Amino acid sequence: MNQVDVSRFVQEQVEAIVARVILKAGFETNSQLADTIRDFAVWGLEHVLAKEPVGHHDAFCELGVMMADHGYSVQKVREVLDNLRVGLLPLVRQRVDAPEHSLEEQFSFLEQTVNLLSVNASELLERYIVFRERKVEETHMQNLEIVLNSLPNSILTYDETGTLTYANRVACELMEVEKEDLVGHNLDNLLPLTGYSRSGRKIWITQESIPLFDGRGSIVIGYPVVRELEYYRILQAQTEFIFNAMTEGLVILDKDNMITTFNSRAERLFGMTRKEIINRKGDLFLEKLQMDPSLSLIHETLRTGTTFTDIQQSIRSADGKERILKTSTRTILGEHGEILGAIGIFEDLTDRLFLEEQVRRAEKFSVLGKFAAGIAHEIRNPLTTAKGFLQLLPSDSPDPKIRQLKELVIPEIDRANEIITEFLMIAKPSAPQLKPSSLAELVEDLVALVQPQALMQNVELSYIPGESLLPVAIDRAQLLQVFLNLTNNAFDAMQEGGRLEIKVENNASHVSIHFTDSGVGMDKDVIERIFEPFYTKKSAGTGLGLAVSHRIIDGHNGTIHVTSTLGKGSTFTIRLPFVS
């Protein structure tokens, strides 16, 4: 195809793709976002049809920064990429599906399209994540600045050389200097006398110097001259105020293993209140988390003085939630180097790692779309022809080989068609027809359907309905497919019989459906890959059931995850949002 033909084809077809993306994402037609999508679509088509090497479209990749800056959710970003892929792949296929192109050339065009989309989508998502995290960090620093400037005391920080690195509003007002004049200088070179402002006015405060726990300087806090008891009360209140403004969980143990500090973020992370844990032994903290003392980094620091930085750990909080934390610890040392306590700082990585996993999963499905678009339909046509020919063979043929051929091959052709159908469902799922429905009625129908199978396999089936369930928006047929897949997997895991519990419960913003079996369970490696296409431990399985289920739940704006213990059973939990 020459360049003139490519340009004409692009101009005629690209607007339909752009219109679809704009409509699905809710962009304004003339917005910069829409213009960039249009430019990328034109560039991408010309790139592919001209057989040029795959590269980055920088303006398109920079959309990740723009969408993060405008507050777009990761779901919205994924919708933009999915709809662009859904528009471009069939268009390229339509163009190259002609007699002058061999099947190998057609696959080559489709593969180049998928690669071009995957490379640019990955770069866009990476810029989106990096910018969003940087924006969160900037917001955190701004909030910290607001907190420190709102304190009634002066706050000064120094590095190890004695150079000022920070001064809050009160400190600048007391010394009658601008912040810019303080930071980066030594205080002795700025004021005429220690304890006096620049104009010579006496500064009536009491100061306390606290070494920073990393040994790289100190913080000096100035208090108004008040009675000693009031002084300590104000100090405690201000310290708690600063600690509770932190975005990380903070736990401090004294030398006797007593918990002296437990900020509000730690309360949310560990699922326990400050009131029940403060001034109690650190062993109670571990008991509530059901954590072995040897795994507690803060207790290891208290015992040995060994510090840890950015260690990733998985925990189950006291309220039953699983979290992934990044842990750092430091020692509190006395004048002679003795250990007076230990500090633990805990950052919640759960949402970030989930987002990264969603990005990786989206890339896998994007690559899988290449095979579904280029191969699945081509395989189904000869299978249909073969099945039709076999069905014409007489069932009462005197030749036993003909009867055996018909009885054995037709079911295998039907099985191959089922695999192709599920394959296409993963690569290009049909949009669910969401309608407000009663989830309780759907689960009751499910129980009625699977009860006979439970009796045959000696499985005790238990259903615990939720109370006063609010309506949820669901596609009844698709969701029933997911439920049946989970129950069938549970039966497969309990070949010798057991117990399957289906429980529905209300939460603050969603309804949860738990499928808990007493089967063989799974190890960590299996759990990490359980939703991957074609991954299965069953001898006759296709590895597509749970991948399809995951896509269906995604289409319902919900989540599905699994917890399991080898030899004790598994629990699959689906969360679906209430109708707003």
Domain membership flag for residue 508: yes
Domain membership flag for residue 229: yes
- How does pLDDT run across 542-579, given as a tens digit for each residue? 667 788 788 888 888 889 989 998 889 999 999 998 87
Mean pLDDT of 107-119: 79
Same domain, residue pair 344 and 358: no
Same domain, residue pair 102 and 44: yes
Across the beta sheet with 569-577, the strand order is 459-464, 498-506, 510-517, 569-577, 559-565
Mean pLDDT of 190-216: 71
Same domain, residue pair 457 and 515: yes
Q: What's the mean pLDDT when you consider all of the chain?
A: 79
Same domain, residue pair 477 and 558: yes
As a dihedral over the C-alpha atoms of residue 310, residue 311, residue 315, residue 317, rounded to 10 degrees, the angle is -30
pLDDT at 2: 44
Domain final position from 243, 277, 298:
243
Helix, coil or strand: residue 183: coil
Mean pLDDT of 328-356: 86
Same domain, residue pair 406 and 370: yes
Domain membership flag for residue 146: no
Same domain, residue pair 473 and 562: yes
Same domain, residue pair 173 and 219: yes
Same domain, residue pair 123 and 57: yes
The pLDDT > 70 percentage for the chain reads 77
The span from the CA of 214 to the CA of 550, in Å, is 45
Which residues on adjacent β-strands are paired with residue 570?
A: 517, 564
Domain CATH code at residue 80:
1.10.490
Same domain, residue pair 290 and 171: no
Report DSSP letters for 336-369, one per residue. TS-EEEEEEEEEE-HHHHHHHHHHHHHHHHHHHH
- How does pLDDT run across 362-415, given as a tens digit for each residue? 666 656 555 555 566 566 667 666 666 667 677 777 777 777 777 777 777 776
Q: How far is CA 237 from CA 233, 344, 437, in A?
A: 6, 20, 50
pLDDT bucket at 436, cuts 50 / 70 / 90? confident
pLDDT bucket at 426, cuts 50 / 70 / 90? low
Domain CATH code at residue 285:
3.30.450.20
435-437 and 459-464 strand pairing? unpaired
Which residues on adjacent β-strands are paired with residue 96?
A: none
Domain membership flag for residue 528: yes
Domain final position from 218, 243, 268:
243
Highest mean pLDDT among 67-81, 115-129, 215-229, 297-311: 297-311
E strand intervals along 279-437: 311-316, 322-333, 339-348, 435-437
Q: How far is CA 542 from CA 461, 521, 532, in A?
A: 26, 19, 11
Mention every residue, 6+ apart, whose C-beta is less than 8 A from residue 198: 175, 176, 177, 190, 191, 192
Same domain, residue pair 501 and 567: yes
Give the domain range for residue 410. Answer: 354-427
Overall domain count for the chain: 5
Structure tokens at 403: 């009867």
Domain membership flag for residue 145: no
Same domain, residue pair 440 and 556: yes
Nearest to 149 by CA among 51, 276, 280, 238: 238
Query: 227: burial class by Cβ within 10 Å (0-12, 13-18, 19+)?
Result: exposed
Q: Does the structure show a pLDDT above 90 at 168?
A: no
The span from the CA of 341 to the CA of 331, in Å, is 6
Domain final position from 297, 329, 348:
348
pLDDT at 515: 95
Mention every residue, 6+ apart, whose C-beta is less than 8 A from residue 21: 27, 34, 37, 80, 83, 84, 87
